[in-house]
Amino acid sequence: MRVITEKVGDETITVYIGRGALKELSLEGKKVVIYGSGLTNDVRNYLHGLQPNTLLEIDDGERSKNLQTVLSIIDKLIELNLSRRDTLIAVGGGTVTDVVGFIASIYKRGINLTNVPTTLLGMVDASLGGKNGIDYRGIKNLIGTFYQPKLVLEDLRFLDSLEQKNFRQGLAEVIKYGITLNKRLYDYLSNNSERILQRDEEAVEEIIASSVESKLQIVSSDERERIGIRSVLNFGHTVGHVIESLSGFSIHHGMAVAVGMVCEAEISEELGIGEEGVVEDTEWILSLFGLPLTASELNIKGDPNEISLLLSMDKKGYGDKISLPLPVRIGSWKRVEVEKSWLEKAIFQCLT
Ligand SMILES: NC(=O)c1ccc[n+]([C@@H]2O[C@H](COP(=O)([O-])OP(=O)(O)OC[C@H]3O[C@@H](n4cnc5c(N)ncnc54)[C@H](O)[C@@H]3O)[C@@H](O)[C@H]2O)c1
């Protein structure tokens, strides 16, 4: 079992990673487990190990990240008369931890939160760092808060039931850390792709732990994305969110981010920020794990008006500018500000 702790703001966040990590739960007060409907029956059985007072099922997937889901859960929490000393335990993929994290932050102005991610993407990214959110009017994560789970239990047993496609989607975010922040991780991915794709437990634990460390180090130095450091975690996401929105959220986040990273690496080279080869290195590692490189592989086509509208709602924008984290070379990145109008054209070109 690996244990990673990091101080974020006033909180110390503890993450357990390993087979059987659920047994590390020790909490006082009532425990309400909110889990995603996509969990298979074998996996649901693990939830009893958490000894919950109440188990609540919610729909999962991007379409459940909405206000109706939030309000229906809050109605249940009121019925249960939960106090701020009680705990919500979110069990599911990134969509579940995003919705439950948001609920935990607003119910009685904040109730304890534990995350139990059940997808690779959840383990390496969505369950960590305190960002949560729901989609609104077709805009990804338009409504949300920053709210830290004090405890994150990453039980590798959950990955057993994960489809290979879903596993690969999570690898997109692992690759993101490798390209921008962690050359050691990039090299490990390059040298161990077969083992990782075959889910060799030691290799999978290694890439998860390495990703968790990279993410928490960034979050601890810039929890609320105020000084620009945290923006690195958005690499591939500006274009990725456009792709998700253009598809009406039918394209999975990880797939959209994979293509987004290629586009943004191209933008980096075009602006003279990225050194020659950064696009090739990005494409090579993504293809090693069977991830898409182009919009046509996702059956998506850019629409200039939609791109313009989506960029105008992007949280990283202000005035005519938008800030982008761009790779310089493997393991190194830079934040740049670009004109929105220029970026619209660059994204359109990339998605055509
Ligand atoms: N808050 C953040 O910092 C952050 C970071 C990255 C991504 N995200 C968000 O995360 C979401 C994507 O997360 P995701 O990839 O986990 O998607 P998801 O939650 O939609 O889960 C994907 C699918 O996997 C199924 N599933 C979950 N656990 C399973 C298991 N153990 N076995 C079998 N199937 C299982 C679900 O039912 C679902 O169909 C997006 O909404 C994205 O915006 C948030």
* Tens digits of residue pLDDT in 81-136: 999 999 999 999 999 999 999 999 999 999 999 999 999 999 999 999 999 999 99
Nearest to 234 by CA among 171, 175, 316, 136: 316
pLDDT, mean over the chain? 95
Reported as a single tens digit per residue, the pLDDT across 164-203 is: 999 999 999 999 999 999 999 999 999 999 999 999 999 9
- Residue 26 has a pLDDT of 82
Residue in 31, 65, 168, 237 annotated catalytic? 237
Reported as a single tens digit per residue, the pLDDT across 313-332 is: 888 778 899 999 999 999 99
Alpha-helical (H) ranges within the chain are 41-45, 67-79, 94-106, 120-121, 164-180, 183-191, 193-197, 201-221, 237-246, 253-270, 278-288, 304-312, 340-350
C-alpha 57/C-alpha 230 separation (Å) is 32
Q: Are 30 and 80 in contact (CB under 8 A)?
A: yes
Phi, psi (deg, nearest 5) at residue 308: -60, -45
Q: 2-161 has which fold?
A: Rossmann fold (3.40.50)
Q: Are 198 and 167 in contact (CB under 8 A)?
A: no
% of the chain with per-residue pLDDT over 70: 100
Phi, psi (deg, nearest 5) at residue 81: 50, 50
- Residue 42 has a pLDDT of 85
Residue in 62, 173, 213, 264 annotated catalytic? 173
Atom of ligand 1 nearest to the CA of 38: 37
Phi, psi (deg, nearest 5) at residue 39: -70, 135
C-alpha 159/C-alpha 235 separation (Å) is 25
Candidates 44, 166, 174: which one to mutate for ligand 1, based on the most atoms within 8 Å of Cβ?
166
Residue in 31, 65, 131, 140 annotated catalytic? 131
N- to C-terminal Cα separation, the chain: 46
- 109 catalytic, yes or no? yes
Task: Indicate whether 247 pLDDT > 90.
Answer: yes
Candidates 59, 113, 121, 173: which one to mutate for ligand 1, based on the most atoms within 8 Å of Cβ?
121
The pLDDT of 67-81, averaged and rounded, is: 96
Nearest to 101 by CA among 68, 130, 72: 130
Token representation of residue 155: 């039980």
d(CA 120, ligand 1 centre) in Å: 8
- Residue 339 has a pLDDT of 93
- 252 catalytic, yes or no? no
Whether CATH 3.40.50.2300 fits 164-351: no
Residues enclosing ligand 1, CB less than 6 A?
36, 38-40, 43, 60-62, 65, 92-96, 98, 118-119, 121-122, 125-126, 129, 131-132, 158, 161-162, 166, 169, 253-254
Task: Indicate whether 27 pLDDT > 90.
Answer: no
- 131 catalytic, yes or no? yes
- pLDDT band of residue 43 (cuts 50, 70, 90) is confident
- Residue 28 has a pLDDT of 86
- Residue 145 has a pLDDT of 97
Phi, psi (deg, nearest 5) at residue 209: -60, -40
Nearest to 115 by CA among 134, 133, 128, 102: 128
Pairing of strands 139-143, 2-8: unpaired
- 234 catalytic, yes or no? yes
Nearest residue (CA) to ligand 1, atom 27: 93
- Residue 36 has a pLDDT of 96
> Domain segments of the chain: what residues?
2-161, 164-351
Phi, psi (deg, nearest 5) at residue 57: -100, 135
